[in-house]
Structures are given as C-alpha cells and as structure tokens.
Amino acid sequence: MGERANRPDPTANARFAPGLRRLRGMPYFERPGARIYYEVSGSGPALVFAHGLGGNHLSWWQQVPAFNDRYTCVVFAHRGFAPSTEEPGGPGAAAFADDLEALIDHLGLDDVRLVAQSMGGWTCLAYALTHPERVRALVMCDTTGTLAHPGFEAIYASRPPGREQALFERGIHPAGGERMASEQPALHYLYWQINNLASGLDKDALRNQLIALRTTPPEALAVLRMPVLCIAGEEDVVIAPESVRLLAESVPDGRYVPIPRAGHSVYFERAEQFNRVVGEFLDDVEARG
C-alpha cells in the first residue's frame, strides 16, 4: 500500500476536466429519448470502452482493473442496453456515435483512447471520423464498424452459411464461440447472462440497422491519422478476420493482430492476451507524445 501511495500521480498531466472525479457519483446522463448509464474509475488519460451487441458496461470487467491504475477508464451501456434506456421507436444505432460524443463532452474529456468491440466499432469509428482531432488512439476488436469495403463481399461469400444459427441451436452464443463454450464453460455462461440483460431489446432489428450503417468507403478513412489497432479472433464466426485485416490496411497508421484459439469476443475469452496487446499498443502511443 505504501509503495503504491508513493507513485507519481498519473493525472498530473492528463488532459481532462478537473471536475471529472466528482462525476463518479452521477452514473446517468440524459439524451433525447434515452438515458445513458456509465461508470468512471481510475486516473490518468481517458480510455473509453464501447461494448458489442451481446454486452453492456459489465462486459469490460477484465479490462477495467487491468488499465485503471494508469488510465481513467470509462465504460457505458449503449442506449437500449440495460441499465441504459431508450424510448420505443427511438433511433437506436443511428444515435450511438452522437451518444458517445455527448458522454465525452459530459465528462469534459479533451482527447480519448477508444476501445471498441464488435457493435461498438460502429460507435467508435463513426465518432473518430467526425472528431479525429479528439481521438488519440483507436482499438477495433472483431469489428469493421461502418466500413463498406469492396473486398467484403468475396470474403463473406466464401464462409459457410448458417454457422451462427447452428451454434444458437446448440445453446452456444456465436459471440462466445464453440471453444469458449467447451474450454471455459463458466465464462461462456457469464457471457450469456450479460447478453440476457438486454433481453427486451430487438437485436435482430438492431443488426439490420448496423448493416444499413455500413456506408463508409475506404478512402474516407484517410482522415484517421491516429494509430489504429485492429484485433481479430482467428475463429470468429460473426465478423470475418480477413475483413478486420482489410480495415487495418485501409487506415494510414493501422496494424492488424490476429489472436489464435479465439472467437468473436477476444477481450472476454482471451483477456490476458488482449490486455497485453492493447497495453503495448497504448504504451507505444503514449511514447510517441
């Protein structure tokens, strides 16, 4: 305890609002037609996590303790994902990036490092494209976000059809994957339980919204001058790893890291490896100044 207390304060040179610490007792903020739940922990530069379709703020339980000794970690639940809310007939995914912008403004953050998983990639990529000057680094895990790459069609045409449905019929969540279910059944069970917290949400409709939002041509990514780390589980049956590689190749400063023996939720299934890869990436970003 004494050794930890003597460490330099990592917030000394951090660029975020002085009142940020006080906001930790205010876990909701209001949006048009929605109420967004968030949590803030740790100190230092801002690191914001955006969850996927099967998650919420709880999805990052293995990341926040690994990073909040040197970063101010922000997690939130997208609108409609409990405990956040959205009024019936709301814009859904079309408002995700605006909600993220509002959260960042609400917390008074000047620059952020974004970590996106699957659906969260739509949120974070859209935000980064609109506000590249406010994003210090971007991590895209098992996602291509709003990117519409001409190479995607051939990639997905070559994949066996019906794999996700076949897993569902066996009680396996596709975002967890067969390996997680067999090798880490308790972890797979936890994934299902977090997923079920949004049981009242029409996720099929939300998937269709996300597909419709895939409108960003590769050339539009030229504005992303920040370092971009693209991670993919090699056994992902939801988002083709090859498509994530194309995303990395489409940004000016992209790097692609495939994770073996992992499915769609690398951050959940292989947390130690994920945290190490992301941590090394962020260390490199900070070293650049």
9 within domain boundaries: no
Please state the domain count of the chain. 1
Written as six digits, the tokens of 227 are 């370092």
Which helix (H) or strand (E) is 102 found in, with range? helix 96-106
Torsion of CA 109, 112, 115, 119, to 10 degrees: 60
- Cβ-contact 29, 103 below 8 angstroms: yes
119 close to 92: Cβ distance less than 8 angstroms: no
Residue 2 lies in a domain: no
10-residue mean pLDDT series, the chain (289 residues): 35 39 64 97 97 98 98 98 96 98 96 98 99 98 99 96 95 98 99 96 96 98 98 98 99 99 99 99 95
User: Is 85 contained in some domain?
Assistant: yes
Task: Tell me, yes or no, whether 159 lies in a domain.
Answer: yes
Cα 92 off chain centre by:
17
- For the domain that residue 134 is a member of, what is the CATH number? 3.40.50.1820
pLDDT of residue 99: 99
Q: What is the pLDDT of residue 17?
A: 42
User: In which domain, by residue range, is 168 found?
Assistant: 27-288
pTM over 0.85: yes
How is residue 153 written in tokens? Answer: 């069609």
Residue 8 forms part of a structural domain: no
DSSP per-residue string spanning 153-222: HHHHHTSPTTHHHHHHHTT--TTT-HHHHHH-HHHHHHHHHHHHTTTTS-HHHHHHHHHHT--B-GGGGG
Query: What are the CA-CA distances from residue 241 to residues 98, 172, 181 (Å)?
Result: 28, 20, 20
Question: Is 131 inside any structural domain?
Answer: yes
